[in-house]
Structure 1
Amino acid sequence: MKVPMGVRITQTTLGNRPCVVVDPAQDAHPGIILYFHGGSYILGSPYTAMSLTANLVSRTNIQSVSLDYRLAPEHPFPAALEDALAAYRGLLDDGVEATSIVFAGDSAGGGIAVSTCLMARDADLPMPAAVVTFSAGLDKTHSGASMDSKIGLDPFFTRESFTYTDAMYLAGQDPNHELVSPARFADLTGFPPLLLQVGTNEVLLDDSTQLADRAREAGVDVILDVTADVPHVFQAFAGILDEADQALDRAALFITQRLR
């Protein structure tokens, strides 16, 4: 993975959790991308997502704040979501307007971005300006047809592989919960605009397609952006895959349009 040159990286805390701030080289535009990394809720960090956050920053000239949330199995559901909501509260308490914040995340982080919106709404907090997800994990019931139809095409996951990571994250809790499986159970009424990017070769494809359906039913502005013949979180391969650069360009345009 390639990280663009020129961005500035610093460490700080937000909501009592470490985070990594990525700033453009110069002339930052107003706004913040609050980013949640992937890793099936059990691994990863802001640094494993650096090719994504830094590329978004370099394309938008908007600062990214990438949260180092707690991981399972030591900290199962809902610890990561509690950290994410605390980070959002922290930004709001610091005087940042909700309309100048975009949630973004890849894989499990995409699920965190969506579920944090649900928690914020239930807590009567203002909604962020938009949500962007890359190959989001949005259904721990794994009921989408793509879980079986994409077997052999997805180079990363199988239905069986989720058995292990889900057991660590859920720790015996019910997957039939809107914060765990928003693509199946969430009411998205009042949600901000959504951009859902995913590849056709992913077993998680229908996590995004099902959430897009729910968003449309709730009257939410949603873009389902599906790219052919690419793997899970293909956007991380910016500078290597043309499709990754093109997808990040579309994501950057979506973000800048929502933060104007």
Structure 2
Amino acid sequence: MLKSMWKKLVVESLLKNGLRTPSQWNIPTSTLRFSLEKICKIFPKNTQDLHFEHDQLAGLPVEKISPNNSAEHVILFIHGGLFMLGSQHSHRALMCSLVQRTQLPVIHIDYPLAPEQPFPAAFDALYQAYHALLNQGIAADHIILAGDCAGANLALSLNLRLLRENAPQPCGLVLMSPLLDLTLSSESLRFNQQHDALLSLTLIENAIQHYIAPHTDRDDPRVSPLFDQLQGLPKTLVQVGSKALLLDDAQRFRAQAKKAGVEVEFKLYTGMWHNFFMFDAWFDESKQALADLAAFVHHLKSND
């Protein structure tokens, strides 16, 4: 227990000094992307009995990682990175862990990033990619839509757009450390500023300015899905750390979704920071979060 606590404190210190503090400087996006890709190489990848395929959905690159067994359900995963960072490379270790834990294929999709392609580029491209997946013969009720950080924003926004257009719905939704309110009105952005080891408020603000054009309101439900009508969403899992800057985005979503009649499973992991899931090789809380996700997914399958 003591060893685990010290390990956590050391990693938090390294992250705060090596990532969070530098992220508040005026660093070019290209440099941030390059640095993230390099840093994420430290995460061990368990590729045993996994199969990798590369394809496209509506012109977007996808990597499909499959277990040794066949399965009808798939996880369509949208990576995070504050709309301007992240890729199949940065999240590959997490995707491998997801497949190993759930024993389901994960379709990990790259999408247009800001500032080169601001809103609505990703919003529209992911909508087209989802329909392309349906056109390949995968039933909507066999798709679990998932994402972390900004990817959770895009996953929720996509699901809400499908609802508005009466399109086929995924059977479940997974929101990991979700960024859902671009007005930045969540209280945890203030009280967790010194506690989150990964994210800074400055970095989030800069990313939002890259993502949305001046003519797009920050409370537009297409970019801040927390302000949308949530009725009709499928069963949803929300996971967040108690030290996360975005803690209240997750908690406010839980309250509003339950009020709208959505079945929500909410998991809070004490002492953990933003996107701690990626550290599952080292921390029990991260392992538990992925085990909880796997249990959620298998419950969805059993109700099919």
Same fold, TM-score > 0.5, yes or no: yes
Aligned to 1:14: 57
1:191 aligns with 2:248: no
Quote the residue 1:210 is aligned against. Answer: 252
Aligned residue number for residue 242 of structure 1: 284
Residue 3 in structure 1 maps to residue 45 in structure 2: yes
Report the alpha carbon displacement of residue 95 of structure 1 after superposing the two structures with TM.
1.7
Q: In the alignment, is the contact (CA less than 8 A) between 1:2 and 1:238 conserved in 2?
A: no
Report the alpha carbon displacement of residue 103 of structure 1 after superposing the two structures with TM. 0.5
Q: Tell me how many residue pairs correspond in the alignment.
A: 258
Q: Secondary structure at the match of 1:206?
A: helix
Query: Does residue 240 of structure 2 align to residue 176 of structure 1?
Result: no
| Deviation by residue 1:7-45 (Cα, 9 ceiling, x = unmatched) | 222210012111111111x11322110000111111111
In the alignment, what sits opposite 1:68? 110
Deviation at 1:119, TM superposition (A): 1.0
Q: Distance in 1 between matches of 2:238 and 2:160?
A: 16
User: 2:189 is matched with which residue?
Assistant: 147
Query: Which residue does the alignment assign to 1:84?
Result: 126
- After superposition, what is the alpha-carbon deviation per residue over 1:195-231, rounded to whole angstroms, capped at 9, x for unaligned? 0000010110011111111110110000111101111
Write the distance in 2 (CA, Å) between the matches of 1:188 and 1:39: 24
Question: Per-residue CA shift, 1:26-85, capped at 9, x if unaligned?
Answer: 113221100001111111112211122211111121111011100001110111121211
CA contact (8 A) 1:196 1:208 kept: yes
| Correspondence 1:200 to 2:242 | yes
* Structure-2-length-normalised TM-score: 0.83
Matches of 2:128 and 2:281 in 1, distance apart?
A: 34
For the residues of structure 1 that align with 2:45 and 2:274, how far apart are their CA atoms? Answer: 18
The code of the aligned residue for 1:132 comes to V
> Quick check: 1:38 aligned with 2:77?
no
* SS of match in other structure, 2:166: coil
SS at match of 2:278: helix
Give the residue type in structure 2 aligned to 1:104.
A
- What secondary structure is seen at the aligned counterpart in 1 of 2:267? strand
Find the aligned partners of 2:47 and 2:108 in 1 and give their Cα distance: 18
Q: What amino acid is aligned across from residue 64 of structure 2 in structure 1?
A: V
Tell which structure's C-alpha radius of gyration is larger: 2
Counterparts of 1:22-33 in structure 2, within 5 Å, are 22-24=65-67, 26-33=68-75
Deviation at 1:159, TM superposition (A): 2.4
Question: 222, 230, 234: which one pairs with 2:264?
Answer: 222
Structure 1 length as normaliser, TM-score?
0.96
Give SS of 1:216's match. helix
Q: Give the secondary-structure state (helix, strand or coil) at the position aligned to 2:105.
A: strand
Over aligned residues, Cα RMSD in angstroms? Answer: 1.1
Residue 153 of structure 1 aligns to a residue whose secondary structure is coil
Distance 2:89 2:197 in 1: 22
Q: Aligned equivalents of 1:120 and 1:3: distance in 2? A: 34
**Structure 2, unpaired ranges of 5+:** 1-42
1:130 pairs with 2:176: no
Conserved in 2, the CA contact under 8 Å of 1:182 and 1:211?
Answer: no
Bigger strand fraction? 1
Partners of 1:103 and 1:130 within 8 A in 2: yes
**Secondary structure of residue in 2 paired with 1:244:** helix
